[in-house]
Structure 1
Amino acid sequence: MADIVCISPIDGQELVRRTTASGAEIAATLTAMRAAQKDWAHVSLADRAAILRRFIEIMRLQNEDVTIEIAQQMGRPVRYGGEFRSFEERANYLIDLAPSALAPSLPIDPRDGLTRYIARVPVGIVFVVAPWNYPYLTAINTIIPALMAGNGVLLKHAAQTLLVGERFQAALDQAGLPTGLFRNLVLSHDDTARILSSGSVDHVNFTGSVEGGRAIERAAAGTFTTATLELGGKDPAYVRADAKLDFAIENIVDGAYFNSGQCCCGIERIYVHDTLYDQFVDGFAAMTSSYVLGNPLEQTTTLGPMANTRFADLVRGQTAEALAKGGKALIDPAGFANDKTGTPYLMPQAVIDVDHTMSIMRDENFGPLVGIMKVSDDASAIALMNDSDYGLTASIWTQDLDAAEQIGLQIETGLVFANRADYVDPGLAWSGVKNTGRGASVGKLGYDGLTRPRAIHLRKV
């Protein structure tokens, strides 16, 4: 057992301290959950939905307090109002989707005297290892469909957002979820590895770094525990010659810097057609320079600190490397007096005159930093967008949606946007390629990953 501590990025002071669960508590939790899940699997979808809708309402009523807690734990400004508007929309959508997603699949060739179909049955226990950057939304992507599908859920939340797991536990208990079916435990990395290597869970959903995903796979090796992994990203935006320029600038700036760039699908590299390049760069710089870096508890702040000083230091290092190789910083630091080396307070920055020999265009930074390159045509943009070890989302900014679709089919990515970015559509699938991970969450495919097919073949005699 050890203490897990959340240090607030606002002032560097300890905010929360919790002791990890003991081995005996972990074992008892998993035993009780296995028993509770067997009963839950026989509860109707309507009854499961009723409990989870009560849970959503209980969470919604906490939004004001939670918005402040998020700012204190990971630095997102309170002016943005927390996560519960999207949380509520997404959770209700996933509940509504359950009857069709879990409905039996019929063969395409009916046969006389036979009843044949494929049922979707729960995997058993789903282990959610959740990140800090969108602590409610990322967790709900799996928790709601896992419970709707008849599973038990074990939640390990990130050290930076310890209070989030406690909010989930209290709200689900208050909503009337059966005792033991959901548990939030404070766990170390070693505890997580031991749970996976023991084979005591049936599926793990992990959102985090590439190295973290590899550690999850190593721990689960040989257990046949299935996994959904959402790992790193280096998401590109391509501004075509026919883009609606003001609209593209406004939305790409937001897609790059919202949440201090700490978004799984945040824009980290931008390719602009040479006919729009100068106008784009000027507009991008002007809009970015309007951000206000400061204390996230103040309503005037539009950019809070990064969650941890070491994250900010990584971004500072990537910027320095790009400048040393001939890149040019676009944003004047004079407008960001709160940017201080050795702290998580970091200004938004864009670098031009960059290329793919630089880390800024190849390696994830997960911060308020982008590189901007000029391209001559679609083929050049596609080649550069695909020149990456990652592939979560890509956005194309154009008024020609047919062209966007054709370009999108050539990009090595999990999701393609046209004229938007940084959005999770619960009706589709959230999935990545290359080092971004494997599997899918949300949508029907998310339900498929949390269930197993059971073929039913009944012959009348």
Structure 2
Amino acid sequence: MPIATVNPANGETLKTYEAMGAEETERRLQLAEATFRTYRTTAFAERARLLNRAADLLDEDQQDIARVMTTEMGKPIRQARAEAAKCAKAMRWYAGHAEQLLADEEPADADVSDSGASRVRVRYRPLGPVLAVMPWNFPLWQVVRFAAPALMAGNVGLLKHASNVPQTALYLEDLFHRAGYPEGAFQTLLIGAGAVEEILRDERVKAATLTGSEPAGRAVASVAGDMVKKSVLELGGSDPYVVMPSADLDRAAQIAVTARVQNNGQSCIAAKRFIVHTDVYDAFAERFVAGMKALTVGDPMAEETEVGPLATEQGRTDVEELVDDATRSGATALCGGHRLRRPELPGWYYPPTVLAGITREMRIHREEAFGPVATLYRAGDLDEAVLIANDTPFGLSSNVWTRDETEVDRFVRDLEAGSVYVNGMTASHPAFPFGGAKRSGYGRELSGHGIREFCNITTVWHGA
């Protein structure tokens, strides 16, 4: 895949970049290693000052970087501005909380005399240069939720971004540079996917984090495992959205639309499988389909647009194939179901689609639909709802709508996912740990759990 900005709204290639060669990559690895030696010793106050400055600059740049993101991957411009604002918020959160999150800890059992020590502490120390392999769907947020905690912990970052968002990738390096970070604290590597393994095998790179597809995650995890290096993976998701009879159906259906089509449906944590109790199935389906049909599909730069194009032509093809396979196998398209054909929208658009009558044999039951396509399931009771929800190789997040606390307890106990959102839609927040189970990956981002992922958790023992 070429390193290029290709506008998904019209397919026009706007800018192409040459991949960095071996000499430039080596220079940047040397710089990262050298910068880490000194940056690791900076005080939390100085790291916080730098990160807060980056947040201020990002706020100033919000409109411009939003337009870049929309041009590169097609998200509606309002959502792009919101993404930039969220990144600035996360930077300030880590600037304000990192010192406390990484403060020395005493063992829970304060009596350590039987160890021969007068005192034992746990200290969190940085690891070194961390390689981040990031996706295009949230081209700013995915990076910042790694970079903010990593930099506050005293690590330095090496970013290998998706090849279709090079301008956003370069902006991030420039942002941290303008904020005053030492050269080498955060660097963008304009390289292809084939160059990742060699960099990860380099002894100067101490760990890796990846957000992306399951095959990409397997590849990075395999190399990291072979090199005995820490890795964190956030992979795909096919999140269930369960609606029980006691739910507020109007609210559940309204939020369901947003939960499915956020970011043009290209979100790992988007609700994708809507599992509805039979007693309220028809009423929910009517409301949900009406909401999907009412969405405004159009130019992502237009303020009124709610659904823009998919980011790549291949992405649209993948969605089409999943829908076509389902309808050929007996599924019914309650809305959408075919490629959008409007002369004024020549890009990679796919309409909001709701499929009913899904069976286990259909590909869309097993695979992640990365576009504005929802699948509807009818569940006879809570037990069947849980079975359907867990009948997936993924386990990123989940959504449950019920006013029955006994049902809430059952779902929280039994759903195989990294998060359970009750009467609301999944959303990441800097204070909450984020990550999944099963083939959705391992490790956690955000919160105290996320900042400690790339720390050397060190026991400090003092003799009597």
* TM-score normalised by the chain length of structure 2: 0.95
1:83-162 superposed matches below 5 A: 83-107=83-107, 108-111=109-112, 114-162=118-166
SS of the aligned residue for 1:237 comes to strand
SS of the aligned residue for 2:420 comes to strand
Of 208, 213, 223, 1:209 maps to 213
Question: What runs of 5+ residues in structure 2 fail to find an aligned partner?
Answer: none
AA aligned opposite 1:226: K
Maintained 8 Å contact 2:4/2:165: no
Aligned residue number for residue 67 of structure 1: 66
Q: 2-side partners of 1:228 and 1:339: how far apart? A: 43
Aligned residue number for residue 295 of structure 1: 299
AA aligned opposite 2:206: D
Aligned residue number for residue 281 of structure 1: 285
Q: 1-side partners of 2:223 and 2:399: how far apart? A: 35
RMSD: 2.0
SS of the aligned residue for 1:15 comes to strand
Aligned residue number for residue 4 of structure 2: 5
Are 2:445 and 1:445 equivalent residues in the alignment? Answer: no
1:447 Cα deviation from its structure 2 partner: 1.4
Aligned residue number for residue 191 of structure 1: 195
SS of the aligned residue for 2:456 comes to strand
Q: 2-side partners of 1:114 and 1:211: how far apart? A: 49
Aligned residue number for residue 172 of structure 2: 168
1:324 Cα deviation from its structure 2 partner: 1.3
AA aligned opposite 2:111: P
Of 249, 259, 274, 1:245 maps to 249
Q: 1-side partners of 2:67 and 2:208: how far apart? A: 30
SS of the aligned residue for 2:395 comes to coil
Q: 1-side partners of 2:286 and 2:124: how far apart? A: 53
Question: What runs of 5+ residues in structure 1 fail to find an aligned partner?
Answer: none
CA deviations over 1:7-63 (Å, ceiling 9, x no partner):
211111112211111211111211121121111111110110001100111011111
Q: 2-side partners of 1:352 and 1:185: how far apart? A: 44
SS of the aligned residue for 1:79 comes to helix
Change (3 A) 1:417 1:126: same
1:129 Cα deviation from its structure 2 partner: 1.0
Change (3 A) 1:233 1:335: closer
Q: 2-side partners of 1:391 and 1:61: how far apart? A: 37
Aligned residue number for residue 378 of structure 1: 382
Maintained 8 Å contact 1:338/1:345: no
1:286-325 superposed matches below 5 A: 286-325=290-329
AA aligned opposite 1:172: F
Aligned residue number for residue 229 of structure 2: 225
Q: 2-side partners of 1:340 and 1:369: how far apart? A: 22
SS of the aligned residue for 2:458 comes to strand
SS of the aligned residue for 1:444 comes to helix
AA aligned opposite 1:413: A
Are 2:53 and 1:54 equivalent residues in the alignment? Answer: yes
Change (3 A) 1:420 1:41: same
Change (3 A) 1:341 1:304: closer
Change (3 A) 1:8 1:56: same
1:253 Cα deviation from its structure 2 partner: 0.8
Q: 2-side partners of 1:121 and 1:189: how far apart? A: 30
SS of the aligned residue for 2:398 comes to strand
Aligned residue number for residue 36 of structure 1: 35
Q: 1-side partners of 2:287 and 2:336: how far apart? A: 14
Q: What number of residue pairs does the alignment pair up?
A: 459
Q: 1-side partners of 2:337 and 2:120: how far apart? A: 67
Query: After the TM superposition, which segments of 4 or more aligned residues of structure 1 sit over 6 Å from their partners?
Result: 339-342
Maintained 8 Å contact 1:312/1:367: yes
Aligned residue number for residue 179 of structure 1: 183
Change (3 A) 1:26 1:355: same
Which deviates more, 336-345 or 17-26?
336-345
Q: 2-side partners of 1:163 and 1:416: how far apart? A: 35
Q: 2-side partners of 1:221 and 1:441: how far apart? A: 19
AA aligned opposite 1:358: M
Are 2:79 and 1:80 equivalent residues in the alignment? Answer: yes
* TM-score normalised by the chain length of structure 1: 0.95
Q: Percent same amino acid at aligned positions?
A: 27
Q: 2-side partners of 1:230 and 1:6: how far apart? A: 25
Change (3 A) 1:231 1:224: same
